[in-house]
Amino acid sequence: MRFGERLAAAVARRGPLCVGIDPHPGLLASWGLPQDASGLERFALTCVEAFGDEVAVVKPQSAFFEAHGSRGVAVLERVLAGLRDAGALVLLDAKRGDIGSTMAAYAAAYLADGSPLAADAVTLSPYLGFGSLAPALEAAAAGGRGVFVLAATSNPEGASVQRAEGADGRSVAQAVVDEAARANAGAHPQGDVGLVVGATLAELGLDLSALNGPVLAPGFGAQGATVADLRALFGPDLRGVLPTSSRDVLRHGPDTASLRSAARRVRDSLAL
């Protein structure tokens, strides 16, 4: 099955929620864990146990694992395998973007069969040009995987690039949307090229009507976005929107049952 099909099936079965695994130092400390690879491992594998058989999509943040060097990357490999075995789709938040053979190497790492870091989908940055992502899109299609491309993020620094207008009057973000729509054209029930659009944006200013793909909406919960905000941004029909919550759920650790219950509450609150 293509990624778009698998994602639609997972959301229908488990609800429209993506939970992040973000083992940053503050959370390790709040869980009473050491700031080293052993603490990282305990944190991450607790999350696998809590979320792997509960939510549709789990999103490990690669940087927090990489910060611990080779031992941290080894933990990430275990997380990817554990979540996959538990039935969750894994979206690796790596935000990679480069050109030529380097982009092809990233694609081989995160999207190729047999790679220990291969996930169901990976986040990508298109700001070296959407065309530079071609090796990743090709690898994803070949392996039944997906990508989520940064389009409109909620950090203040992003607006100067993402909202800049080209010669045709479109914003850079809208050009990204339109390229993703082209890649998804004709796919059913949705394509494999998703977008990342911040749920905390004051207004969207994007036409997503032709996207035919999923939208990852980080910022739900602790960062302030509500269901009403999602509807205001994306319209009343939120099919295809995948809200993401991390801190709002992870603050309930380290107890596995409490983490699982928190994920259920956030998921049930969506009622999309």
- Average pLDDT for 182-193: 97
For residue range 52-79, list pLDDT tens digits in order.
999 999 999 999 999 999 999 999 999 9
Inform me whether the pLDDT recorded for 208 exceeds 80: yes
Inform me whether the pLDDT recorded for 265 exceeds 70: yes
pLDDT value for 112:
97
Catalytic residues: 95
DSSP character string of 202-259: S------TT--S-EEEE-BSTTSB-HHHHHHHH-S--TTEEEEESHHHHTTTT-HHHH
Distance of CA 234 to the CA centre of its chain: 17
Asked if 23 and 44 count as a contact pair (C-beta separation under 8 A), the reply is yes
**DSSP single-letter state for residue 153:** -
- On whether the 3-270 domain is CATH 3.10.129.10, my answer is no
Domain residue limits, the chain? 3-270
For residue range 70-107, list pLDDT tens digits in order.
999 999 999 999 999 999 999 999 999 999 999 999 99
- Average pLDDT for 201-220: 91
